[in-house]
């Protein structure tokens, strides 16, 4: 019986192509101003933090959901040390994989999910190699990945952007999402998954992989260092004059 795959991202709908709504021109303009102001603060171009092959990046991304970087990094190293090839994880005992990645959030969910996703990849391609995605457009590559249960928009974008594929995709993590919401770039009810298409559509279509990576990183860093979850430091925020949430308690996203 095939392994059931628990989700931490919303289950994606199978699809072949994305049709994102045209961006609001004023929001697209605002997104560019935000980028231009934050880039000097955080030092664009920002060096890539990983140089992993796409399958390794996929595993790393799955481990990192709702988990601090230090813990997911430790779990990734432990997996690599115990299973020299990703095929070994497919054949491993789930309880053993779970014990190897303990320290991440929900190891009991992530262990069977990682095994099942790797098994699905091997079944579809006959090998654990995602290098072929480099020959596809970003939308088609993301749709291909998201057809696999357990891979959502955040993971597919991370694989394309952060791995050695270095493709122009825009990942959105919880910090990035929170800052974008407080700034009014996305509405208060737009979840992380749907926000990927909305935020990507606001940025120029011809932006490079580095440009989009920088955009993700500067919004994430701003969320970590200034626009904190509980107490945003609006008094020292370079975006305060653009931000409808600046005067609200705890930076609660302003309603349109
Ligand atoms: S002004 Fe405040 S709520 Fe708005 S982006 Fe800056 S820190 Fe966040």
| pLDDT given at position 253 | 64
212 alpha carbon to ligand 1 midpoint, in Å?
21
CB of 234 within 6 A of ligand 1: the answer is yes
Question: Looking at ligand 1, which atom is closest to the CA of residue 245?
Answer: 3
241 alpha carbon to ligand 1 midpoint, in Å?
9
| Vertex 34: Cα angle to 182 and 201 (nearest 5) | 85
Return the higher-pLDDT residue of 24 and 223.
223
Residues 37-65: b if buried by 16+ CB within 10 A, e if exposed: bbbeeeebebebebebbbbbbbbbbbbbb
Per the structure block, which two tokens stand in for 20? 């994102």
| pLDDT given at position 1 | 40
| pLDDT given at position 166 | 98
With 50 as the cut, is the pLDDT of residue 196 above it? yes
Q: Whose CA is nearest to atom 3 of ligand 1?
A: 251
CA dihedral 44, 47, 48, 49 (to 10 degrees): -120
Query: 3.40.50.2300, 1.10.340.30, 3.40.50.300, 1.10.150.120: which CATH number matches 54-162?
Result: 1.10.340.30
| pLDDT given at position 10 | 46
226 alpha carbon to ligand 1 midpoint, in Å?
7
| pLDDT given at position 12 | 43
pTM (predicted TM-score): 0.88
Half-sphere exposure of 171 (CA within 13 A, CB side): 26
**Mutational pocket test of ligand 1: of 42, 174, 180, 227, the residue with most ligand atoms within 8 Å of the beta carbon:** 227
Q: Name the pLDDT band for 19 (thresholds 50, 70, 90).
A: low
**Mutational pocket test of ligand 1: of 228, 234, 236, the residue with most ligand atoms within 8 Å of the beta carbon:** 234
H helices present in the chain, as ranges: 25-42, 54-64, 69-82, 86-91, 94-100, 107-125, 138-146, 153-162, 174-183, 192-202, 209-225
Whether 195 contacts 40, CB under 8 Å: no
Tell me: domain 25-46+170-244, CATH 2.20.25.190, correct? no
Q: Could you tell me if residue 66 is left (phi over 0), alpha (psi between -120 and 50 degrees) or otherwise beta?
A: left
CB of 163 within 6 A of ligand 1: the answer is no
CB of 245 within 6 A of ligand 1: the answer is yes
Q: Name the pLDDT band for 14 (thresholds 50, 70, 90).
A: very low
Q: Residue 148 class from Cβ within 10 Å (0-12 exposed, 13-18 middle, 19+ buried)? A: buried
Q: Residue 123 class from Cβ within 10 Å (0-12 exposed, 13-18 middle, 19+ buried)? A: exposed
What average pLDDT does range 113-138 have in this prediction? 97
Q: Whose CA is nearest to atom 2 of ligand 1?
A: 234
Extents of the domains making up the chain: 25-46+170-244, 54-162
131 alpha carbon to ligand 1 midpoint, in Å?
39
């Amino acid at each position: 019986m095939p392994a059931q795959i628990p989700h931490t991202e919303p289950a994606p709908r199978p699809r072949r192509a994305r049709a994102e709504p045209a961006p609001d021109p004023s929001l697209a303009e605002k997104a560019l101003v935000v980028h231009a102001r934050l880039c000097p603060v955080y030092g664009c171009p920002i060096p890539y933090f990983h140089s992993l092959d796409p399958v390794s990046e996929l595993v790393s991304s799955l481990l990192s959901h709702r988990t601090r970087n230090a813990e997911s990094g430790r779990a990734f190293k432990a997996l690599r040390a115990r299973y020299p090839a990703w095929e070994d994880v497919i054949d491993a005992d789930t309880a053993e994989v779970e014990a190897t990645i303990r320290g991440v959030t929900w190891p009991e969910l992530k262990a069977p999910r990682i095994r099942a996703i790797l098994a699905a990849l091997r079944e579809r391609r006959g090998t654990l190699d995602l290098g072929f995605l480099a020959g596809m457009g970003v939308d088609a590559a993301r749709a291909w990945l998201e057809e696999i249960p357990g891979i959502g928009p955040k993971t597919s974008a991370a694989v394309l952007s952060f791995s050695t594929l270095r493709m122009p995709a825009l990942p959105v993590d919880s910090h990035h999402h929170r800052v974008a919401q407080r700034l009014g770039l996305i509405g208060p009810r737009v979840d992380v998954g749907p926000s990927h298409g909305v935020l990507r559509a606001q940025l120029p279509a011809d932006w490079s992989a580095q440009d989009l990576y920088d955009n993700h990183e500067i919004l994430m860093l701003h969320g970590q260092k200034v626009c904190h979850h509980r107490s945003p430091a609006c008094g020292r925020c370079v975006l305060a004059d653009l931000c409808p949430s600046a005067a609200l308690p705890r930076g609660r996203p302003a309603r349109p």
